[in-house]
Chain A
Amino acid sequence: MSATNRNRLSAGGLIDRNQTRGFSFDGTRHRGYAGDTLASALLANGVRLVGRSFKYHRPRGIFSAGAEEPNALVELRTGARREPNTRATVTELYDGLEATSQNRWPSLALDALSLNRFLAPFLGAGFYYKTFMWPAAFWEKVYEPIIRRAAGLGRAALEEDPDHYEKATAFCDVLVIGAGPAGLMAALTAARSGARVILADEDFLPGGGLNAEAGDVDRQPAPAFAAGIAAELASLPNVRVMTRTSVFGVYDGGTYGALERVSDHLAVPAPFQPRQRLWRIVARRAVLAAGATERPIVFGGNDRPGVMLAGAVGTYVQRHAVLPGRNIALFANNDGAWRDMLAAQAAGAHVETIVDVRAEVAPELIAAAQAKGIRVLKGAQVIATHGRTLRSLEVATASGTERIAADTLAVSGGWSPCVHLTCHHGGKPAWNEDIAAFVPGTCPPGLSVAGAAKGILGLGACLRDGAETGAESARALGFTVPAHEVPEVADAAFALTPFWHVEGSKGAAFVDLQNDVTAKDVGIAHKEGFRSVELLKRYTTLGMATDQGRTSNVTGLAIMASLTGASIPETGTTIFRPPYTPVSMGALAGHHRGKDFRPVRLTPTHEWARAQGAVFIETGAWLRAQYFPRAGEKDWLETVTREVTAVRASVGLIDVSTFGKIDLQGRDVGAFLDRVYINGFAALAVGKARYGVMLREDGLVMDDGTTARLSPEHYVMTTTTANAAKVFQHLEFCLQVLWPELDVALSSISEQWAQIAIAGPRARDVLARVADGDVSNAALPFMGAVEGTVMDGVKARLFRLSFSGELGFEIAVPARHGAALAQALMQAGETFGITPYGIEALGVMRIEKGHVSGSELSGQTTAGDLGFGRMASTKKDYIGRTMAARPGLADPDRPAFVGFRPVDLSRRLRAGAHFLNRGAAPETANDQGYMTSVAYSPHLGHWIGLGLITRGPERLGERVRAYDPVRGEEIEVEICAPGFIDPEGVRLRG
């Protein structure tokens, strides 16, 4: 172990010195305490170099103490749990934590690509747009692979994430975002009114800036004050305090996205606990109290490890009892940073020098500094830094340049309110001259901003503003807010002189530390005309890194403004896009991954089919039996051939419950069906079913199916499996919107009824043994539909329908009886060798019979294309009729539905092959159509196909080529009528 915690103060801080936390960085073991972040623990152990920059691979150290961190990105954890680009500054230390530096090779100290710094003069903004173009083929082969390997930051895990994620939804009256001084007070006042409050904070410890505050609030140390309020809130039944929870986005209707890090402070999640939880919080009002982010001043060498935001120095000293360095200097333009240093000094840090760009600084500050032995340089600027990690600074003063020793340089250029969430609905922040920062502009509906996020700098003012904003939010919802007392804290004046960039400083001066964008790059963008803020960002990549430019956007804008001579607000605003901080993909996906990606729908006979040895296949959301292999069958084709042969020779059964089933009742159902089907239904007799085709209003085929009339005002419709929901929605639209005057009520009964088809010459014999009533040809003729009972009293609907071309029935029973029906049919059919068949065999038989199915109902075909032209009634209006008459849809040259057989009957056909006339060149102009469906026909002993080919029905007997280059095949096929079996329909009427 290293000299543990050599930079740790012996007392103070919000750490628990009794709870040590062992961790490692780049393989070296260290120790920290509960209450540390990885960054504070690294600093405590004297680790100053933590990463390499994106482009030039420059050594980088910890720069901040929060989510704005641009430098200290590490790979956290190992193996399948490796998390690249993790900010050490917000990573709660846990026992056994392993972190590794990234974007370096072979090691952090000796990074080969740091040689890029010698090329830096040539690698300015946008250099890659101007070169790497010769020769053209070199881009993919040479230049780009090198660039891709050099770019990127951390490495993704190689294996599946082993942890689980959850999603949850919460509702509240007031959502308070941020548990700093303003947020705590806002939550408290809102909560005391009785409003349902959610207080969310990204930190593991509520309090925000109070936890780094040296002074007292309400006669107690600031952190204790924060803890007291948090405890009161947690005790209230109408409040939920969510720590480790980042509200990352504002969506419509008062919906906020939030990420709760349930287990990220543990080595692995506890059993049955998720790693993270995605929250959708629906809030009637929200208070944004996200605080403000300090921003640096840009100067030469400002990226050297040891250069750190002044507020971060304060946080490490006060909250973590860590000295970021032994000898601290400050470079600032404002009073707040002075106070941070004075407080740090009081807590045990050694601050030797304060460099302030201002010529005039409040005398009491100067006196306070000098009283503590701090040297003050006014009107001075840091122009360079030295050391592998920081050893000294060069400071230009009125009297010349001097070199000052320091191992830590605290920098402060002022504060930028965290306006991020206010921009998520397109609101643009407004420039506030007083604090030289962007403050919230138009906010999303229901969102108010409080405290530092609003541009209020000063603890007392933030407490007051938080209380008032919380009260206002509750009042706006009709709650009565009791009188509330706000602790008095005297705020010192906030004095700041805007200052952005030390011109003429030595060495590269970085604006965006993570993306290595320098002040000179902003200059290039200016010269080349990329002056508006959007163009500046895109051209230089300023603000596009994982920190979204929290510490760089305003500075970049200010430098551009100084070059153009325009003001900062004239130059542009900084807009932040969601998420506020990056959100893991796992959390956004939740449980929807692997086999649980989407729900599975099972048919009522699923378990029965499984017991029969079925192989299942995904068809949309359904799992359906694909086929039922038997021992000794060598492949699926042998199985399917057996199933088809058995049906055509005797009898088989299949579950067809997946078809959409719609119940229609009312006086006007017949008239309604007439309007939605192309063919007539008004004359359909009770006890009969009819096949129908529906169009979309644009005239193309939407779906097909049968509708049966069970009683004068009661019909049931079936749709295809794929279009079940779509057709139901369409029918509801027709009824509710187009023809509300019709007396029709619809109900989807797909889930309520199991439906099993039996087919084959013995189908009636089987049915007779199961049905309670007469199922003779006279009682139940072809296309008959009756209600009755089966299995001694189970309510049933019997339909005499055939998809296979054989004598066929469909038996519908309430879903709970589906499996029993299957068993009863199996038993009844045993003597006939009844064979369960799957959807492959179903498909083979429908192709043999020449029925259209999903491949033909592609949404690109007309009724005419599919051979339904003569079905279309000319005596009535129906959905799609008018538009179907357009010349493009009525064109006789359109590909139309026919059958195909290979000329050489030993050849296999392939769906997706295109048709070319014999001798025609393979080019688009000669494309005649394509094969929609194919099957090996056991009945015929060769492959057959269905397809669409130009003027197909006029070309029966003609030979064309089925062109299938993606599978390396081209064979001759003969066009034939689409019915390959029993074209007269003798079997199904038998």
Chain B
Amino acid sequence: MRYSFLSILANGLSGQKGWTPTWRDAAPKPGYDVIIVGGGGHGLATAYYLAKVHGIRNVAVIEKSVIGSGNAGRNTTIIRSNYLLPGNEPFYEWSMKLWEGLEQELNYNAMVSQRGILNLFHSDAQRDAYARRGNAMRLAGVDSKLMDKAGVRAMYPFLNFDNARFPIQGGLLQARAGTARHDAVVWGYARGADRLGVDIVQNCEVTGFLREGDAIVGVETSRGDIRAGKVAVAVAGSSSRVAAMAGLRLPMESHVLQAFVSEGLKPMVDGVITFGAGHFYISQSDKGGLVFGGDIDGYNSYAQRGNLPVIEDVCEGGMALMPRIGRLRLLRHWGGIMDMSMDGSPIIDRTPVPGLYLNAGWCYGGFKATPASGWCFAHLLATGAPHDTAGAFRLDRFRTGHLIDEKGVGAQPNLH
């Protein structure tokens, strides 16, 4: 069914009787051209673009739970393309361009909302670092604007300018950045892929790989063996576990990142703001909740929850930046498992095991990458070659030394 104003009108008048499943809850077939392991945003987007762009429709997305139950539904919904390094920036800008047309492409309102992201700086050195980044963005054809304190004050007069431990000196604005409704992105891609013939197989856990010689030719699952021409893994925090089934060790650790939402409030924060003197960033959802977060807890974890020190640290940052939020309340906090790579940047590549492809290492930045990650992974799977914008996301870069380390902290995932 195509969604439109008319479809809503008709169903409203008919007592909402005409709606149909957004995607089929498919049973697995014996084999596919491509199996994508992981029914998060990246896996579903990959399936969608495989079918849409490359005409490869004999595809299954295998999900151990229900789609979107991992990080796709546990993030703080920010989309942006304000990266520093040439290995990253063209990719994230491609993602931003895909976001900009996503809803019309999918006929699904993912509430892509370009209300801007403002990264605050608090020292001359930080200002220069943001100038470097803003200039790098301009070189890549991306919008960026360096704002002084007065400009920031005009945008967000309620920030703490006058009684701050680390006074705000200005900010780097990407006006085209913003947020999107995370679940809707998952559902929109699922619906789009489903309509192109992709099987979305839920409650189907991969327990091993089918092999012929060195090559992987399918997956063993809780719902039986499924053969495939290619197996593509997009399982975020579970990447090391799935790779281990294929005998691979990855340059990656799994860490917990907490996210937070306040009670619903009338509009007070228009865009996304990041604090430069602590671990805190914030936006406000259309429903009114303040959505905020900070740093990862900092230790390997597969438990989807964190601890008080980081919760306190995040709220301290919030109060330091926005002292008017003191009487607002944290409603919920939760954790997601991040695939923290060793240089803080992702991997979209074939693996040394024939037939096995990897999409991983998104750290805490995977949501914004969803469209381009799917596009580029599909491109790799369909053509055998990396997409132009993802050419740096190679698995062997750690061997060759072509690292993409935005923060410059080296091979220590909890610092990225």
A934 to chain B, nearest CB (A): 8
Stretch from A161-169, A294-302, A555-563 contacting the other chain = A161-169
Contact bitstring B291-308, A, C-beta under 8 A = 1, else 0: 000000000000111011
A712 on interface, CB distance cutoff 8 Å:
no
Determine whether the beta carbon of A966 is less than 8 Å from that of B135: yes
Asked if residues B264 and A912 are in contact (CB atoms below 8 Å), the reply is: no
Question: Is A215 part of the contact surface with B, judged by Cβ < 8 Å?
Answer: no
Nearest A-chain residue to B270, judged by Cβ = A148
Let me know if A527 and B264 touch, CB within 8 A. no
Most A-side CB within 10 Å, residue of B8, B303, B327, B403: B327
CB pair A426 B66 closer than 8 Å: no
Q: Does A528 contact B (CB under 8 A)?
A: yes
A591 to chain B, nearest CB (A): 9
Name, among B132, B278, B332, the residue most crowded by chain A CB atoms within 10 Å (CB to CB): B132
Per-residue interface assignment for chain B, residues 100 to 144, with 1 indicating a CB less than 8 Å from any chain A CB and 0 otherwise: 110110011111111100000011010111111111101111001
Q: Which one of B109, B140, B167, B409 has the highest number of Cβ atoms from chain A below 10 Å of its Cβ?
A: B109
Interface members, chain B 271-323 (any A CB < 8 Å): 277-278, 284, 286-288, 303-305, 307-308, 311-312, 315-320, 323
The reply on B156 being an interface residue by CB < 8 A is no
Q: Is B22 part of the contact surface with A, judged by Cβ < 8 Å?
A: yes
Residues of B within 8 Å of A84, CB to CB, are 263, 265, 327-328
A598 interface residue, CB < 8 Å from B?
Answer: yes
The digit string for B161-202, where 1 denotes a CB below 8 A from any CB of A, is 001111100001000000001011001100000000000000
Q: Is B13 an interface residue (CB 8 A)?
A: yes
**A541 lies within 8 A of chain B by Cβ:** yes
Assuming A157-B324, A520-B16, A585-B326, is B187 touching A129 (CB within 8 A)? yes
**B21: Cβ under 8 A from any A Cβ:** yes
A17 close to B (CB within 8 Å): no
B20 within 8 A of A: yes
- A924, B86: Cβ atoms closer than 8 Å: yes
Chain A 149-180 interface 0/1 with B at a Cβ cutoff of 8 Å (1 = within):
10111111111110101010000000000000
Stretch from B231-239, B242-250, B363-371, B393-401 at the A interface: B393-401
Is A140 in contact with chain B by the CB < 8 A criterion? yes
Q: Tell me the complex Cα distance, A700–B284, Å.
A: 39
**Are A577 and B332 in contact (CB-based, < 8 A)?**
yes
Could you mark each residue 181-209 of chain A with 1 if its beta carbon is under 8 Å from any beta carbon of chain B, else 0? 00000000000000000000000000000
Query: Is A912 in contact with B129, judged by CB distance below 8 angstroms?
Result: yes
Q: Which residues of B contact A156 (CB under 8 A)?
A: 265-266, 268, 324-325, 327-328
Taken together as a complex, chains A and B put the C-alpha atoms of A85 and B16 apart, in Å, by: 32
Within 8 Å CB of B128, what residues of A?
Answer: 855, 910-912
Q: Which residues of B sit under 8 angstroms from A930, Cβ to Cβ?
A: 132, 135
A131 touching B3 in the complex, CB below 8 Å, given contacts A122-B12, A140-B113, A529-B22: yes
Partner of B135 from the list A154, A595, A912 (CB cut-off 8 Å) is A912
Chain A residue with minimal CB distance to B318? A585
Residue of B nearest to A125 (CB): B16
Q: In the complex, which residue of chain B has the Cβ closest to the Cβ of A890?
A: B401
Interface 1/0s, chain A 346-359, versus B by CB < 8 A? 00000000000000
In-complex Cβ contact of A585 among B66, B125, B262, B305 (8 A): B262
- List the A residue with the shortest CB-CB distance to B133: A912
User: B29 on the interface (CB 8 Å rule)?
Assistant: no
User: How many Å lie between the Cα of A81 and that of B329 in the bound state?
Assistant: 13
Q: Are B132 and A131 touching (Cβ within 8 A)? A: no
B135 touches A596 (CB 8 A): no
Instruction: List which A662-713 residues lie within 8 A (CB) of chain B.
Output: 696-700, 702
Residues of the B chain whose Cβ atoms lie less than 8 Å from the Cβ of A748: none
B178: nearest chain-A partner, CB-CB: A140
Contact in complex: B319, A151 (CB < 8 Å): no
Q: Is B351 an interface residue (CB 8 A)?
A: no
Query: Is residue A109 within 8 Å, beta carbon to beta carbon, of the partner chain?
Result: no
Cβ of A585: which chain B residues have Cβ within 8 Å of it? Answer: 262, 315, 318-319, 325-330
Max chain B Cβ within 10 angstroms of own Cβ: one of A81, A595, A698: A698
Known: A144-B286, A577-B333, A912-B130. A590 touches B305 (CB 8 A): no
Tell me if A546 counts as interface (CB < 8 A to partner B): yes
Cβ of B27 within 8 Å of any chain A Cβ, yes or no, is no
- Contact of A594 with B323 at beta-carbon distance under 8 Å, contacts A84-B263, A130-B7, A136-B101 already known: yes
Interchain CB contact under 8 A, B135 and A964: yes
With A158-B324, A251-B308, A594-B164 already in contact, the answer to whether A924 and B330 are too (CB < 8 A) is: no
Complex: A539 Cα to B181 Cα, angstroms: 11
Residues of B close to A886: CB separation below 8 A: 399-401
Select which of B113, B130, B146 is within 8 A of A144 by beta carbon.
B113
> A927–B329 contact, CB under 8 A?
no
Query: B108, B183, B319, B330: which contacts A538 (Cβ < 8 A)?
Result: B183
| Cβ contact within 8 Å between A527 and B19 | yes
B222 at the interface (CB under 8 A from A): no
- The reply to whether the CB of B402 lies closer than 8 angstroms to some CB of chain A is yes
* Chain A residues, Cβ within 8 Å of B410: 696-698, 700, 702, 859
Partner of B312 from the list A167, A889, A913 (CB cut-off 8 Å) is: A167
User: How distant is the Cα of A886 from the Cα of B401 in the complex, in angstroms?
Assistant: 5
B267 touches A149 (CB 8 A): yes
Closest B residue to A618 by beta carbon equals B166
B window 373-416: CB within 8 A of A: 397, 399-403, 405, 407-411
A527 is contacted by which of B20, B267, B334, B407 (Cβ under 8 Å)?
Answer: B20
State the CA gap A144–B266 with chains docked (Å).
13
| A888 CB within 8 Å of chain B | yes
> Is A788's CB within 8 Å of the partner chain B?
no
Look across to chain B and name the residue whose beta carbon is closest to the beta carbon of A81: B327
Contact B165 A888 (CB under 8 A): no
Q: Which residues of A contact B9 (CB under 8 A)?
A: 122
In the bound assembly, the distance between CA atoms of A699 and B400 in angstroms comes to 12
Contact A151 B286 (CB under 8 A): yes
Say yes or no for A740: interface residue by CB 8 A criterion: no
Task: Kindly state whether residue A128 has any CB partner on chain B within 8 Å.
Answer: yes
Q: Is the CB of A121 within 8 A of B3?
A: no
Do B319 and A589 touch across chains, with their CB atoms under 8 A apart?
yes
A369 to B154, CA, bound (A): 67
Asked if A132 is at the interface (CB within 8 A of a chain B CB), the reply is yes
Q: Which of A426, A922, A924 has the most CB of B within 10 A?
A: A924
- Of residues 227 to 274 in A, which have CB atoms within 8 Å of B's CB atoms? 249, 251-252, 255, 257
Q: Are B139 and A139 in contact (CB under 8 A)?
A: no
State A133–B287 Cα separation when bound (angstroms): 18
A916 to B, closest residue via Cβ: B139
Q: How far is the CA of A927 from the CA of B184 in the complex (A)?
A: 38
Nearest B residue to A859 via CB reads B408
Contact of A139 among B11, B113, B315 (CB under 8 A): B113
A-side interface residues toward B, CB under 8 Å? 54, 80-85, 121-124, 127-134, 136, 139-140, 144, 147-149, 151-161, 163, 165, 167, 249, 251-252, 255, 257, 278, 280, 424-426, 520, 523-524, 527-530, 532, 534-535, 538-539, 541, 545-546, 548, 577-579, 582-586, 588-590, 592-598, 600, 617-619, 696-700, 702, 854-855, 858-860, 883, 886-890, 910-914, 922-924, 926-927, 930, 963-967
A selection of 25 A-B contacts at a CB cut-off of 8 Å is A84-B265, A84-B328, A85-B329, A121-B12, A121-B15, A133-B3, A156-B265, A156-B327, A160-B160, A524-B16, A529-B22, A529-B25, A535-B66, A539-B183, A577-B332, A582-B330, A583-B329, A597-B166, A860-B405, A886-B400, A912-B131, A912-B133, A914-B139, A922-B138, A966-B146
Q: A425-B303, A534-B65 are in contact. List 4 more A-B contacts (CB 8 A).
A: A153-B263, A155-B265, A530-B22, A888-B397
Using a CB–CB distance below 8 Å, which chain B residues touch chain A? 3-5, 7-9, 11-13, 15-17, 19-23, 25, 65-66, 68-69, 73, 86, 89-90, 100-101, 103-104, 107-115, 122-123, 125, 127-136, 138-141, 144-146, 158, 160, 163-167, 172, 181, 183-184, 187-188, 262-268, 277-278, 284, 286-288, 303-305, 307-308, 311-312, 315-320, 323-334, 397, 399-403, 405, 407-411
* 8 pairs of A and B residues whose beta carbons are closest in the complex: A859-B408, A161-B326, A152-B288, A912-B131, A888-B401, A886-B401, A586-B326, A582-B329
